[in-house]
Structure 1
């Protein structure tokens, strides 16, 4: 909770700080990477730095957190920060790194706002920062504890035991611990980080959903090659070109908060493109548990040829006692039994008490979420997973 003396200061300066965050965050990252180039090389996603998405996500999270502190001082921020904490844990972020961020973020704030940063203003925003940082540190410590790992020590060597070309741009990998024994357990819907060493020596990290339920001796991830809409994805391209059976990858413990709630209430699993991957694990888990809860499964894709794991998705839906599937293709839907075009939210089976899971490109999730809200689905019942920086935080 923000102190009484800081609340009016943050409230008064929030518009100015919020308006300047678009300038502050690039300066912050430039300063930090100049002082600690290893962070850009080995921890931060260089692609998201280049396209500005990481800067946007940081600005949105700071503004959202500060707004929560002044508008709802009695609220606990854990729910808002949980997704960030899971992302950080999957990267092995430690408490010491928050001190580095603090140093360079506040230097950037002073650079941009100048004399407006009085001692009173600096103290109030310092309090905002450490409230957010300490909340994340506590959440991440709990995640490391639950995973049975020392703080930040999330990595293990895993051997590729299977590789399957799912579509022209999508490949799945089966992974087992390189030292032998079965892969550990996880909750359906979670993801792992994969770290690869690129030709220039950088060790870049990307996160991939576990696309089959726990219980087998191995894990499966499904990787879509990023290309055609900007710079090619560094890690996805490397994995497609180089990763073969017998190779060993550096993989994190599983994390992620898009997991099934307890109970037997109805579900709506809506995905698009590679967003199908966490939904497959959830469906797989439901089928394995012989769950009787109603499940409406909806998937959108460009075409049948782009629909990864299509046959498996149909099989998993058929294996669930009360599940149904509707598929939408933008192209070549004729003779497939699928709908043509984009998802019509008005046609979806949304029962009272439905819990919604969304995963896919942001425009897709925004459109579906907006349609569901208009249909009266409560905002708190709609959960989502973002592949990459969470540009939704602060915009919901």
Structure 2
């Protein structure tokens, strides 16, 4: 809870800080990477930095957290904090890094806002920062303890047991622990971080959803090759390009323990799984889990893609749906729709939604916004609609 004194100061200065927060975060990252270049090389996603989306996400999350403290002083925005903490845990972030972030963030704030940052203002926003930071630290350390790893020590060597070309741009890598020990448990819908060493020596990290059964001794990740501007202006996504062109059966990868808060929360309830593009991967993990556990309730599977040929794991999507007692799959394609499929954008008008349905979404932000709005219009409570994004969470930060 924010102190009474700081509440008044933050309320008075939030409009100015909010208006300048994008400039503040841009300068913050410049200062941070100038002082600690290894962070950009080995921890932060260089593509997201080049595209500016990481700066947008940080700016939005700070503003959202401060706003929440003012509007709901007796509660914490746990959805936002959990989402960030899971991502941090998959990267191995530790409590020792938070003072470093604070130093450069407040230097940037003082430089952008100038004389407006009085000692009183600095003290109030310092309180905001540490309320958020300490909450994240507590969640992250709990996540490490649950995985029975030391804080930040999330990496293991995994061997590529097989690779399968799913589509022209999607490849599945089947992974087993290199030391022969059992694979750590996961929950349906979670992801792992994969760290690779690139030709320039950088050790870049990306997150990929586990697309197979949580109980399988073999882990599967399906990687879509990122092209052009979506990769931050480069010719290809650095890590996806590396995995597609350089990693072969028998090679080893640094892979984190599984994390992620998009998991089946009540597997006995009716379920709707909506995805677009490579967003199908966590949904396939959920589908396989539902099939393995004999789920008997209604399940609606919704997917959108450019074409059937671009739909990664399409056969698995249908086969797993058919294993369930009461499930239907509906696919929408921009072009090339086959008999039984639809052309165009996802339209849930004819999709039955059983009362009590929990919905899980993964895909591009416009897709998820559209599906969420349609579900709410059909009577699904917002609290029962859960989602995952690949990359910085611009939706949550701007909510």
Q: TM-score, normalised on structure 1?
A: 0.98
Is 2:190–2:261's contact at 8 Å kept on the other side of the alignment? yes
Offset of 1:263 from its aligned partner?
4.8
**How far apart are the structure 1 equivalents of 2:200 and 2:339?**
45
Report what 1:195 is aligned to.
Answer: 195
Offset of 1:369 from its aligned partner?
1.3
Please state whether the residue corresponding to 2:336 is helix, strand or coil.
Answer: coil
Q: Does 1:254 align with 2:249?
A: no
Report what 2:284 is aligned to.
Answer: 280
Offset of 1:373 from its aligned partner?
2.4
Offset of 1:375 from its aligned partner?
3.0
Please state whether the residue corresponding to 1:133 is helix, strand or coil.
Answer: helix
Q: Does 1:234 align with 2:238?
A: yes
Decide whether aligned partners of structure 1 residues 201 and 259 sit closer, same or farther in structure 2, where only a CA change above 3 A counts.
Answer: same
Please state whether the residue corresponding to 2:166 is helix, strand or coil.
Answer: strand
Is 2:155–2:255's contact at 8 Å kept on the other side of the alignment? yes
Offset of 1:388 from its aligned partner?
0.1
Which is further off, 73-82 or 99-108? 73-82
Is 2:269–2:357's contact at 8 Å kept on the other side of the alignment? yes
Report what 2:171 is aligned to.
Answer: 171
**How far apart are the structure 1 equivalents of 2:86 and 2:192?**
10
Please state whether the residue corresponding to 1:387 is helix, strand or coil.
Answer: coil
Please state whether the residue corresponding to 1:394 is helix, strand or coil.
Answer: helix
Which is further off, 10-19 or 369-378? 369-378
**How far apart are the structure 1 equivalents of 2:25 and 2:186?**
34
Report what 2:74 is aligned to.
Answer: 74
Is 2:2–2:69's contact at 8 Å kept on the other side of the alignment? yes
Please state whether the residue corresponding to 1:356 is helix, strand or coil.
Answer: strand
Which is further off, 138-147 or 210-219? 210-219
Is 1:181–1:217's contact at 8 Å kept on the other side of the alignment? no
Q: How does 1:126-165 map to 2 (within 5 A)?
A: 126-165=126-165
Report what 1:222 is aligned to.
Answer: 222
Gaps in structure 1 of 5+ consecutive residues:
none
Is 1:78–1:135's contact at 8 Å kept on the other side of the alignment? no
Q: How does 1:8-157 map to 2 (within 5 A)?
A: 8-157=8-157
Gaps in structure 2 of 5+ consecutive residues:
none
Q: Does 1:390 align with 2:393?
A: yes
Q: Decide which of 330, 335, 345 is 2:334's aligned counterpart.
A: 330
Offset of 1:278 from its aligned partner?
0.1
Please state whether the residue corresponding to 1:2 is helix, strand or coil.
Answer: coil
**Aligned alpha-carbon RMSD (Å):** 1.0
**How far apart are the structure 2 equivalents of 1:304 and 1:384?**
24
**How far apart are the structure 2 equivalents of 1:60 and 1:241?**
35
**How far apart are the structure 1 equivalents of 2:196 and 2:89?**
18
Write out per-residue CA displacement over residues 146-184 of structure 1, whole angstroms, 9 at most, x where no aligned residue.
111110000000000010000000000011111113322
Which is further off, 267-276 or 223-232? 223-232
**How far apart are the structure 1 equivalents of 2:84 and 2:93?**
11
Q: Does 1:303 align with 2:307?
A: yes
**How far apart are the structure 1 equivalents of 2:351 and 2:59?**
34
Write out per-residue CA displacement over residues 231-273 of structure 1, whole angstroms, 9 at most, x where no aligned residue.
2100000000011100000000000000001352111100000
**How far apart are the structure 2 equivalents of 1:34 and 1:377?**
47
